[in-house]
Amino acid sequence: MLSVLIAVAIILFLYQPVKVEGTSMMPALRDQERIFINKFTYRFGIEEIRRGDMVVFLYPGDTTKSYIKRVIGVPGDWVEVKEGAVLLNGAQIEEPYVPEEFLDRISAPRVRVKPDEFYVMGDHRSASNDSRSWGSVPREYIYGKAVFIYWPLEKLGRLR
């Protein structure tokens, strides 16, 4: 009985199950997959939000919706997209998580990420509604870090 209570407490307060809806994070995450997000690590300052993290947040255009995207720029960074290539502080970054077939040739103007905001993009660039369109995400809207996929079982494991 104690183990059940501990498991329930962990799920309720530390981790939250989430269903992925959409294709903007392919191939890392696919539509209808199930993941756990860590709600604790960012909220209590155990870990800082870093470039490359997959974060779950309230969509700034409609806070009744949640999105999952990858952090590209942190406060103070300069981010620019030139015909699909992402430049961070003036240098093109390597993005092994974005397959060639998911790239697009869209450009976005150079912007400086404001304090307490984060520039986010989906891995499936040609199918992602992200910071290129609506700007950075305020820190207070980010409520979890995607950490573990549990469904389908063949993909069971830690997210990278």
Q: Which H or E element spans position 10?
A: helix 2-13
User: E-assigned strands of the chain?
Assistant: 15-19, 34-38, 54-58, 66-73, 78-82, 85-88, 91-92, 108-112, 117-121, 137-138, 142-151, 157-158
**Which backbone phi and psi does 82 adopt, to 5 degrees?**
-115, 110
The C-alpha R_g of the chain, in whole angstroms, comes to: 16
Q: Which residues are identified as catalytic?
A: 24, 69
